[in-house]
Amino acid sequence: MSQQNNIVSIRNVSKAFGKHSVLHEITLEISAGEIFGFLGPSGAGKTTLVKQLAGLDTPTEGANFLFGDKMPNIHLINKIGYMAQSDALYNELTAKENLEFFASLYGLKHKARKKRISEVMELVSLTDDLNKLVSNYSGGMKRRLSLAIALLHQPQLLILDEPTVGIDPVLRKSIWDAFVSLKENGTTIIVTTHVMDEAEKCDRLGMIRDGKLIAVGTPNMLVQETKASSIEEAFLIYGGA
């Protein structure tokens, strides 16, 4: 794999909050155009790691490089779309007003802004709810709106922290179809999940347990290597069960 293909390079990253060690010596390369999933139980350290990749936190040891530059780096903001685990939306505004606010932060001009807003809302099936107050949105609708915002500026790298929590299976499928078409158009996607059927859809998976990267590979490879019958069983075997 050539060096410039690696959009993300995590080099020997550890993180501690006070005495609490949360990430242990993680090293990993993620290449352009792949859907990479971090799979692990609650508290494993997934959010801590992807926050660093989004430039919102720093490691205690080691370093993260995105597009060849050390993070955090303000100049990379336009290349990254980040969707946090809890929605960062203005509840007292409509969805459209929220989108317009973020679009202006990204410097999208009026005509392009209008076009992108309708494209991203179409993608998350919220076109009919564009003018609704976010306070009247359900939890799943808020997740989808957050995703739409992360997609607004057509980032080369999407970092999505549990993007489909609270979203029903039918919509979940349509959102994953959207991820695949974004990937086909060259977007690199990093997603955290603890849902096994989502893990199967990733090109490669990094299994995280207790802050350690216990296995990396394609879903098929991880299952075959452990002679497991499912990703879930493979995870347990890598975790020492």
Ligand X SMILES: Nc1ncnc2c1ncn2[C@@H]1O[C@H](COP(=O)(O)OP(=O)(O)OP(=O)(O)O)[C@@H](O)[C@H]1O
Tell whether residue 19 is a contact of ligand X (CB under 6 A).
no
Kindly state the helix (H) or strand (E) to which residue 111 belongs, with its residue range.
helix 110-123
Near ligand X by CB under 6 A, which window of 45-53, 76-84, 92-100, 229-237? 45-53
Question: Measuring CA to CA, which residue among 194, 131, 201 is closest to residue 165?
Answer: 194
DSSP string spanning 179-237? HHHHHHTT-EEEEEE--HHHHTTSSEEEEEETTEEEEEE-HHHHHHHHT-SSHHHHHHH
State the minimum distance, in angstroms, from the CB of residue 224 to ligand X: 26
Near ligand X by CB under 6 A, which window of 40-48, 76-84, 102-110, 180-188? 40-48
- Interface residue with ligand X among 28, 35, 39, 44 (CB under 6 A) is 44
Look up tokens 């609490």; give the residue: 20
Residues 6+ apart with CB under 8 A from 89: 98, 134, 142, 145, 146, 149
Residue type for position 115:
K
Residue placing its CB nearer to ligand X in the complex, 126 or 199: 199
Question: Measuring CA to CA, which residue among 197, 200, 106, 99 is closest to residue 153?
Answer: 106
- String of contacts with ligand X for each residue 76-95, x by CB under 6 A: ---------x----------
Tell whether residue 47 is a contact of ligand X (CB under 6 A).
yes
Q: Could you give the count of Cα atoms lying within 13 Å of 67 in the half-sphere of its Cβ?
A: 17
State the minimum distance, in angstroms, from the CB of residue 38 to ligand X: 8
Whether residue 146 contacts residue 123, with contact meaning beta carbons closer than 8 Å, is answered with no
- Interface residue with ligand X among 9, 35, 45, 148 (CB under 6 A) is 45
- Interface residue with ligand X among 9, 48, 164, 188 (CB under 6 A) is 48
Interaxial angle between packed helices 139-151 and 110-123, expressed in degrees from 0 to 180 and rounded to the nearest 10: 140
Residue placing its CB nearer to ligand X in the complex, 37 or 40: 40
- Interface residue with ligand X among 1, 2, 17, 19 (CB under 6 A) is 17
Query: Contacts with ligand X in 93-132 (CB under 6 A)?
Result: none
Tell whether residue 20 is a contact of ligand X (CB under 6 A).
yes
- Interface residue with ligand X among 6, 11, 16, 22 (CB under 6 A) is 22
State the minimum distance, in angstroms, from the CB of residue 95 to ligand X: 25
Tell whether residue 40 is a contact of ligand X (CB under 6 A).
yes
Residue placing its CB nearer to ligand X in the complex, 51 or 153: 51
Kindly state the helix (H) or strand (E) to which residue 139 belongs, with its residue range.
helix 139-151
Q: Which residues contact ligand X (rule: CB under 6 A)?
A: 17, 20, 22, 40, 42-48, 85
